[in-house]
A and B are shown apart, each in its own frame.
Chain A
Amino acid sequence: MTELSKSGAAVGEPTPASPAPTAFLEVRDLKVHFPTDDGLVKSVDGLSFQLEKGKTLGIVGESGSGKSVTSLGIMGLHTAGQYGKRKAQISGEIWLDGTELLSADPDHVRKLRGREMAMIFQDPLSALHPYYTIGQQIVEAYRIHHDVDKKTAKRRAVEMLDRVGIPQPDKRVDSYPHEFSGGMRQRAMIAMSLVNNPELLIADEPTTALDVTVQAQILDLIRDLQKEFGSAVIVITHDLGVVAELADDILVMYGGRCVERGPADKVFYEPRHPYTWGLLGSMPRLDREQQERLIPVKGSPPSLINIPSGCAFNPRCPYADLPKDNVTRTVRPELAEVGSRHWAACHLGTEQRERIWTEEIAPKL
């Protein structure tokens, strides 16, 4: 399998515009804009990150922060779909295992999709075709990338269903999606996405539609499968509990940009962005003593057509007035290193943030 995928990557290698990165997946200054009648929706506006094989990146943010658009961008699903008559405007670079995807031939990207990179969607009922059996859908995904007969492919499908913990896989392979429960459908979808041993797996809110007990099963499954297959995983979620369970690195998105990125431990214990503080304070926690009150973030998420000038978070930030010269409202902060492999985009001084976190925020959590 690995040799196949490597040869696949080698075939369509384009001449790189800038030096190819060393990381397995590297996204550089990705922008995804949608022209609409009301104006340009800047869903993702300059996002960069790297991910190594065998590691998990958690992308967190509220609805409309650009998490899902990022993942669809990596999969190359924006250019494929048209929005009315207008296409999404995508710029930047996405490097997957030495191949730049945005400038690559669409046919080549199609070969990679499902093979090198696969995706688990939020709602398995709408992501699975109601008209075909689970088996047929998995077989299709396998045969597109492997030249095998139907029998072999079906054996592979049964094997995968067994691997993701579906009971009696040889019988259930002939069931239709509606005959599965929510948790089983999600398992079937995971089986389908893993049937080609992809090296990059993107899970977009994989457990949001599921109950907690089923969620625990699925999270466990994703973790075990990652160990087994050694793939790189991107988990997109709004649930900080889920990222804490799965992710090695965390990227916090707000208004289409990354506001903080770093190892999970750092982001949870030494967060350096007021929005991250807000997220941590908003969340009732089972593992702590009862908080008297939650500390919500005031206001509501910004409109992506009219992103506030300066720091996108400034209208909701309790510390927006601390930096001098009204800089939070005029200058957009860039990501700056605040620790080893830890970046945050904020105008507040690093020591100032450290002090606010340790003195004001952390004791209340």
Chain B
Amino acid sequence: MSDDEKAVKIPAQAEGPTEGATLTKDAAPGEVLLKVTGLQKHFPIKKGLLQRQVGAVHAVDGIDFEVRSGETLGVVGESGCGKSTMGRLITRLLEPTAGKVEFQGKDITHLGVGGMRPLRRDVQMIFQDPYSSLNPRHTIGTIVGAPFKLQGVEPEGGIKKEVQRLLSVVGLNPEHYNRYPHEFSGGQRQRIGIARALALNPRLVVADEPVSALDVSIQAQVVNLLDDLQQELGLTYVIIAHDLSVVRHVSDRIAVMYLGKIVELADRDLLYKSPMHPYTKALMSAVPIPDPRRKNAKSERILLKGDVPSPISPPSGCRFHTRCWKATEVCKTTEPPLIELRPGQQVACHHPENFADQAPQDTVLLTAAKEAAELVADEVLAESAETSAAVAAEVAAEAAATPTEAAEPTEAAEPSEAAEPTEATEVAPEASEDDTPAKEK
């Protein structure tokens, strides 16, 4: 490990200029930059005089994913689902309870402050609130120049020149170098935060709700800026947000989180065209569509019953079973593993939408599911049953006779590959990359 550390540290400090320093290990686009396995974070709840631990908030409870170089991974979920905690874990602002975080093939899970320092150059964060994330007593020059001083990097032409270049990169006037944060508007402040994150030319930028504190018109400016910077500098983003339309706009792949778990992880277009997890489907149907002509198309909306359960004692089995309209006995007892049902689409569900049922033998709905189903329009249920049946038939047809061009051309290729994982899950959850390693620890 110490060897690895040196490998990062030495060239950086020897060469000085940031560009040379941080781009030494040029990863080809598509290479895995960040790999997370079985990541957990439990916050203890302490009570009483002796401060005994009486429980834990399972903020992040065993998640696995990869971020490839040059892509944008969007993370969505409701408040309390653990998405921000996840962001702080991968930037190592929080210490994971269990699991493993690898950055560029190097295990950074338990590195200390000193051990992380050289890596801070490559992993940067943009925060949600542009008002509280900038020190009001420092000038913009000091704030954006701080990373250079902390890392002991002397950019070519001096810090001031470099800071001014960064300010112009993010669309601010370089002459504002000596101004204080209060002299800027919310959108401009967010640009300052972005300039600071870019100062050391990072590989990975984790942005936690980068635009949710901004007005609509300003939001679009910042989204476009993030887009441009990614193209110019080849950045990799993890963007955490609750707004599904923003996430769709910026992401290549999207992870949907619910109560500390990833329930679906898929390519953007697959996820939005044919979501498989019922929660994803409900979440997307809940977004108000800015189109008054669809005001009365209420039938498309899936209303979820009640609130998100407490992460202190999450429901057994599938965590969504208490609110799902498709939940059966197996959902209550067995936790569904996150498996790739279709190329580029990983889902953790026993009864996915838009795909063959993973536990067809289990058909009796739970009472909670029946109540939940009352909130879902019949059209939606019928349509979902139809698509599931159609996909199931396709899978069966594919299994019986190899390549028949009967089905729709786009769908034809996908189910054939997906047929294998289907069988695997029914036998045993051995393919479960999801939670087994985490639980062993």
Q: Which residue of A is nearest B279, CB measured?
A: A213
Known contacts A213-B282, A286-B284; A241 and B290 CB within 8 A of each other: yes
Known contacts A219-B288, A244-B289; A285 and B245 CB within 8 A of each other: yes
Interchain residue pairs with CB less than 8 A apart (15):
A184-B307, A211-B79, A212-B283, A219-B288, A238-B216, A241-B290, A243-B290, A247-B292, A268-B292, A281-B220, A282-B217, A286-B287, A287-B290, A294-B224, A300-B185
**How far, in whole Å, are A238 and B218 apart by their CA atoms in the complex?**
12
Q: Which residue of A is nearest B187, CB measured?
A: A300
Across the A-B interface, give the 9 residue pairs with the lowest CB-CB distance, nearest first.
A241-B288, A296-B220, A282-B220, A297-B217, A216-B286, A284-B249, A264-B292, A294-B220, A211-B78
Chain A residue contacts of B298, Cβ below 8 A:
220
Chain A residue contacts of B359, Cβ below 8 A:
none
In the complex the two chains form, is B288's CB within 8 Å of A284's CB?
Answer: no
User: Could you say which of B216, B244, B301 contacts A279, with CB atoms under 8 Å apart?
Assistant: B216
**How far, in whole Å, are A301 and B221 apart by their CA atoms in the complex?**
13
In the complex the two chains form, is B227's CB within 8 Å of A181's CB?
Answer: no
Least distance between B176 CB and chain A CB atoms (Å): 14
Q: Which residue of A is nearest B215, CB measured?
A: A62
Contact residues, A239-270 vs B (CB, 8 A): 239-247, 264-265, 268-269
A339 interface residue, CB < 8 Å from B? no
Known contacts A238-B216, A296-B218; A211 and B242 CB within 8 A of each other: yes
**How far, in whole Å, are A280 and B291 apart by their CA atoms in the complex?**
11
**How far, in whole Å, are A295 and B308 apart by their CA atoms in the complex?**
35
The 0/1 profile, CB within 8 Å of A marked 1, for residues 267-308 of chain B is 011001000000000111111111111110010010110111
In the complex the two chains form, is B290's CB within 8 Å of A285's CB?
Answer: yes
In the complex the two chains form, is B246's CB within 8 Å of A284's CB?
Answer: yes
Chain B residue contacts of A240, Cβ below 8 A:
216, 290
Taking beta carbons and an 8 Å cutoff, which residues of B are in contact with A? Answer: 78-79, 185-188, 215-221, 223-224, 227, 242, 244-246, 248-249, 268-269, 272, 282-295, 298, 301, 303-304, 306-308
Chain B residue contacts of A217, Cβ below 8 A:
303-304
Least distance between A319 CB and chain B CB atoms (Å): 16
Least distance between B206 CB and chain A CB atoms (Å): 21
In the complex the two chains form, is B303's CB within 8 Å of A167's CB?
Answer: no
In the complex the two chains form, is B245's CB within 8 Å of A286's CB?
Answer: yes
Q: Which residue of A is nearest B244, CB measured?
A: A286
Known contacts A212-B78, A296-B220; A268 and B301 CB within 8 A of each other: no
Least distance between B367 CB and chain A CB atoms (Å): 15
Known contacts A184-B307, A240-B290, A300-B185; A293 and B227 CB within 8 A of each other: yes
**How far, in whole Å, are A167 and B305 apart by their CA atoms in the complex?**
11
Chain B residue contacts of A212, Cβ below 8 A:
78, 242, 244, 283, 286-287
In the complex the two chains form, is B284's CB within 8 Å of A214's CB?
Answer: no
In the complex the two chains form, is A213's CB within 8 Å of B289's CB?
Answer: no
Least distance between B263 CB and chain A CB atoms (Å): 13
**How far, in whole Å, are A298 and B285 apart by their CA atoms in the complex?**
31
**How far, in whole Å, are A147 and B224 apart by their CA atoms in the complex?**
58
Contact residues, A181-231 vs B (CB, 8 A): 181-184, 211-217, 219-220
Least distance between B12 CB and chain A CB atoms (Å): 35
Chain A residue contacts of B272, Cβ below 8 A:
286
**How far, in whole Å, are A232 and B78 apart by their CA atoms in the complex?**
31
User: Could you say which of A215, A296, A301 contacts B224, with CB atoms under 8 Å apart?
Assistant: A296
Q: Which residue of B is nearest A183, CB measured?
A: B307
In the complex the two chains form, is A283's CB within 8 Å of B220's CB?
Answer: yes
In the complex the two chains form, is B301's CB within 8 Å of A216's CB?
Answer: yes
In the complex the two chains form, is B289's CB within 8 Å of A287's CB?
Answer: yes
A290 interface residue, CB < 8 Å from B? yes
Least distance between A252 CB and chain B CB atoms (Å): 12
In the complex the two chains form, is B216's CB within 8 Å of A283's CB?
Answer: yes
Known contacts A296-B218, A296-B224; A283 and B306 CB within 8 A of each other: no
User: Could you say which of B78, B188, B242, B249 contacts A290, with CB atoms under 8 Å apart?
Assistant: B249
User: Could you say which of A62, A216, A244, A300 contacts B290, with CB atoms under 8 Å apart?
Assistant: A244
In the complex the two chains form, is B221's CB within 8 Å of A296's CB?
Answer: yes
A291 interface residue, CB < 8 Å from B? yes
Chain A residue contacts of B285, Cβ below 8 A:
216
**How far, in whole Å, are A118 and B420 apart by their CA atoms in the complex?**
59
Least distance between B267 CB and chain A CB atoms (Å): 12
**How far, in whole Å, are A287 and B287 apart by their CA atoms in the complex?**
10
**How far, in whole Å, are A149 and B26 apart by their CA atoms in the complex?**
76
**How far, in whole Å, are A264 and B296 apart by their CA atoms in the complex?**
13
Least distance between B320 CB and chain A CB atoms (Å): 11
**How far, in whole Å, are A220 and B246 apart by their CA atoms in the complex?**
23
In the complex the two chains form, is A242's CB within 8 Å of B246's CB?
Answer: no
Contact residues, A269-283 vs B (CB, 8 A): 269, 278-283
Chain A residue contacts of B221, Cβ below 8 A:
296-298
Sample of 11 further A-B pairs with CB below 8 A, known A212-B78, A244-B295: A62-B216, A213-B78, A216-B303, A241-B290, A283-B220, A285-B245, A286-B244, A287-B289, A290-B269, A296-B221, A300-B187
In the complex the two chains form, is B293's CB within 8 Å of A265's CB?
Answer: yes
Chain B residue contacts of A167, Cβ below 8 A:
306
Known contacts A244-B292, A244-B295, A287-B291; A213 and B218 CB within 8 A of each other: no
**How far, in whole Å, are A268 and B354 apart by their CA atoms in the complex?**
32
Chain B residue contacts of A239, Cβ below 8 A:
288
Chain B residue contacts of A219, Cβ below 8 A:
288
Q: Which residue of A is nearest B246, CB measured?
A: A284
In the complex the two chains form, is A241's CB within 8 Å of B292's CB?
Answer: no
The 0/1 profile, CB within 8 Å of B marked 1, for residues 79-116 of chain A is 00000000000000000000000000000000000000
Chain B residue contacts of A36, Cβ below 8 A:
none
Least distance between B240 CB and chain A CB atoms (Å): 14
Chain A residue contacts of B287, Cβ below 8 A:
212, 241, 286
Least distance between B106 CB and chain A CB atoms (Å): 35
